[in-house]
Structure 1
């Protein structure tokens, strides 16, 4: 089969043996595969990512000098079953799969490990237990977005955001746009998105952002000056001390307003510090972007503002299934996120194109073309 191999940062289209499904595995004929920001990072920073994942117990992440077929966002049709499968769906049925596959006692990340070749190829192996059928009305361009939408679902869950909260999405690349889609599907009413690229801000509006200014901070309408809170607290005390029963809870609400929920979807050094410096007091910051370099921020500023800083990575299998369910029920429309569909041979050039921000968000690969 034809596949795109990554080795030492170089992508090349070549012929490799068609994989044979092992016990409990299914071979899919790939119909769409998405280019992910993680792939762009792994192409040049694989060793740093491998070292970081090794520290938390996974030693199978791809290395810079290994020959790896990447691609972990995909959909395909069932081509063959391995031994021991339940064979729940007929050959030719469209499915998606959580990109993890088991070999013996080891589980590896599909498309991000030399032990689990990914979907930048005509065929890919998946674990039957991790596979879900795609409803027939969901086209491949939409089904292939199940995985990145799962990442966004995880981020929104980590944020514990309510419909009445204001969401601010910093960075409108594929993951930022997916977060906007998932916030809209969750019923959040006010979604402010920002990006340096005007084209991406336009995509944010198409995905459901209520506004997309170049600078989101001036018009948020939340307290940014501690003296405002001091005055509000004293005013509340003076007013409520005249009221019998002295409702302390009302004083606490007046003196401790909540800020917005910020989603950091850029993943570059310095962005967290910029957010902490400019975000209103008592904001919640969810870091979704993957920064591969060491970074710093001022803890004293975060403490002074009582910033709640959370990090989000990947997703749990139920969140993957939840993203597919939302797509099946048409609770969100991710089609504005897809800015091009290319044949397999154009994938190396697309990697170079996506390395710098521009008009593109999600580029899909169609190996059947």
Structure 2
């Protein structure tokens, strides 16, 4: 089969052997696959990422000296069933699934594995027990957004919102845009979104953000004050710090950038008793000042992944159009265009989500 292979720190379009389904697995044909920021991180910082996973006992691992086929945001079509399958979904069924293969002995993350090639290849092997049929006529490229949107949905669930909050989304890349889409689909808002990139700010508006800020010109927390706080509320005053007098609506900040210094920046500048949900994946060591966080009674949560129930809910929300993320897709390529797409995605004003298509 044809695939984009990471080999010797390069992405190469190659012809490789098609995978074969094992016990309880299915062979699928890839229909669409999103290029994820995690793929770019893994390509540029592979050894560092894998070392950090190992230190944190996170079971994502592969030998970067062997071929790896990225791609974990996909929609596919069943071609065949492996031994021991119950064949509940027939050949020809379009499916999405969590990108995992799990047993008592092994955990493999599809697309970050030597054993299980991802959606940058024409065929994949998936775990039958994790398959979800794609509802109705939902287009394959939209269905492939299920995975990144579920990352955002899980982060929103981690925030335990009750509807009274005014959220701030820091960073309007793919995950920030997904966060806006999830928040708006649940009626949470107004949503304040911030990004230095004019292109990404325009996409944030398309996704439904109510207030869009260039942080080079105005603090997103100043914009938050204008829509969340009563007149005269001083975000830095003693009454705010002690929770006395008229109070604003609760502030929840979703950090979707992942660069050193941003966690501290939020702790320092967000209002007292804010909730910070860290979704952006910082590839380096970072530093915070606990004294400030303690004095302001900040809550900090880290969010990673999602559950099977969250994944299914997101797929069905896309199908019944209670969740609209079409504007996230800013380009399509074939396998031959993946290397160029990686270069384009490094420029924030050009693209948000590029989908590999096989039609």
Q: Which bracket does the TM-score occupy, shorter chain normalised?
A: over 0.9
Please say if 1:220 is aligned against 2:224: yes
Check 1:232–1:96 CA distance in 2 against 1; reply closer, same or farther (3 A cut). closer
Alignment of 1:165-314 (within 5 A): 165-215=165-215, 216-221=220-225, 222=229, 223-229=234-240, 233=244, 259-314=250-305
Alpha-carbon distance in 1 for matches of 2:249, 2:172: 24
Q: Larger Rg: 1 or 2? A: 1
Alpha-carbon distance in 2 for matches of 1:64, 1:121: 17
- Deviation per CA, 1:31-73: give whole Å up to 9, x if none: 1000111111011222222222223434551344332001000
Alpha-carbon distance in 1 for matches of 2:242, 2:253: 26
Alignment of 1:111-122 (within 5 A): 111-122=111-122
| Match in the other structure for 2:76 | 76
Check 1:2–1:232 CA distance in 2 against 1; reply closer, same or farther (3 A cut). closer
Alpha-carbon distance in 2 for matches of 1:340, 1:257: 40
Check 1:298–1:120 CA distance in 2 against 1; reply closer, same or farther (3 A cut). same
Alignment of 1:1-369 (within 5 A): 1-102=1-102, 105-215=105-215, 216-221=220-225, 222=229, 223-229=234-240, 233=244, 259-368=250-359
2:175 match: secondary structure: helix
Alpha-carbon distance in 1 for matches of 2:338, 2:241: 56
Equivalent pairs counted in the alignment come to: 348
Compute the RMSD of aligned alpha carbons. 1.8
Task: Give the TM-score normalised by the residue count of structure 1.
Answer: 0.90
1:167 match: secondary structure: strand
Check 1:230–1:112 CA distance in 2 against 1; reply closer, same or farther (3 A cut). closer
Task: Give the TM-score normalised by the residue count of structure 2.
Answer: 0.92
After superposing the two structures, state which structure 1 stretch, 98-107 or 318-327, moved more: 98-107
2:191 match: secondary structure: strand
Alpha-carbon distance in 1 for matches of 2:168, 2:58: 33
Q: Displacement of 1:224 after TM fit?
A: 1.7
After superposing the two structures, state which structure 1 stretch, 92-101 or 61-70, moved more: 61-70
Alpha-carbon distance in 2 for matches of 1:231, 1:102: 48
Alpha-carbon distance in 2 for matches of 1:232, 1:93: 55
Alpha-carbon distance in 1 for matches of 2:63, 2:170: 30
Alpha-carbon distance in 2 for matches of 1:324, 1:137: 12
Check 1:65–1:168 CA distance in 2 against 1; reply closer, same or farther (3 A cut). same
Q: Displacement of 1:116 after TM fit?
A: 1.9
5+ unaligned residues in a row in structure 1: which ranges? Answer: 237-253
Alpha-carbon distance in 1 for matches of 2:201, 2:326: 16
5+ unaligned residues in a row in structure 2: which ranges? Answer: none
Q: Displacement of 1:327 after TM fit?
A: 1.2
Alpha-carbon distance in 1 for matches of 2:259, 2:280: 8
Q: Is the 8 A contact 2:333 2:354 kept in 1?
A: yes
Q: Is the 8 A contact 1:23 1:83 kept in 2?
A: yes
Q: Is the 8 A contact 1:46 1:62 kept in 2?
A: no
